């Protein structure tokens, strides 16, 4: 049982480049989330989805876009990367009701 899988694990981008982070879960979860974690700032919610075909903005959505075309996948896109987007990105998912949140192992992104 893979749980929540994030790809890639590491990436280095130059300012202005674009990329997509993929999150896949095999637990048939309704809710999926993208967080970023920065020293001194904690975990901050970027975007989330409450079901297939839906997305919503979190606390820090600017500079990011997301898509949830399939229930098991939640994609996070950076159209024009900036050094301020250097961070560790975590994907998480949970089921309905009092279901705990499950996290992936993270993607470490550096933008130079």
Partner 1 sequence: KQEVTQIPAALSVPEGENLVLNCSFTDSAIYNLQWFRQDPGKGLTSLLLIQSSQREQTSGRLNASLDKSSGRSTLYIAASQPGDSATYLCAPIGAAGNKLTFGGGTRVLVKP
Q: Kindly list the residues in this chain that would bind partner 1 in the complex (CB under 8 A).
A: 31, 33, 35, 42-45, 48, 50, 56, 58, 90, 92, 97-98, 100-106
Q: Which is nearer to partner 1, 74 or 90 (CB)?
A: 90
Q: Which of 105, 25, 15 lies closest to 73, judged by CA?
A: 25
Contact 63, 12 (CB under 8 A): no
Query: Closest approach of Cβ 26 to partner 1, in Å?
Result: 16
- Residue 33 φ/ψ, nearest 5 degrees: -140, 150
Q: Which is nearer to partner 1, 58 or 77 (CB)?
A: 58
Query: Closest approach of Cβ 50 to partner 1, in Å?
Result: 6
Query: Closest approach of Cβ 69 to partner 1, in Å?
Result: 20
At 28, is the secondary structure helix, strand, or coil?
coil
- Residue 85 φ/ψ, nearest 5 degrees: -95, 5
- How far apart CA 42 and CA 3 sit, in angstroms, is 23
Q: Which is nearer to partner 1, 59 or 79 (CB)?
A: 59
């Amino acid at each position: 049982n893979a749980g929540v899988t994030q790809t890639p694990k590491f990436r280095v981008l130059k300012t202005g480049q674009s990329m997509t982070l993929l999150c896949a879960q095999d637990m048939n979860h309704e809710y999926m989330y993208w967080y970023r974690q920065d020293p001194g700032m904690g975990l901050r919610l970027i975007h989330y989805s409450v079901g297939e075909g839906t997305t919503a903005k979190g606390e820090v959505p600017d500079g990011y876009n997301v898509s949830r075309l399939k229930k098991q996948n939640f994609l996070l896109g950076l159209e024009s990367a900036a050094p301020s987007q250097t961070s560790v990105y975590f994907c998480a998912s949970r089921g309905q009701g009092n279901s705990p949140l499950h996290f992936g192992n993270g993607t470490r992104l550096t933008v130079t």
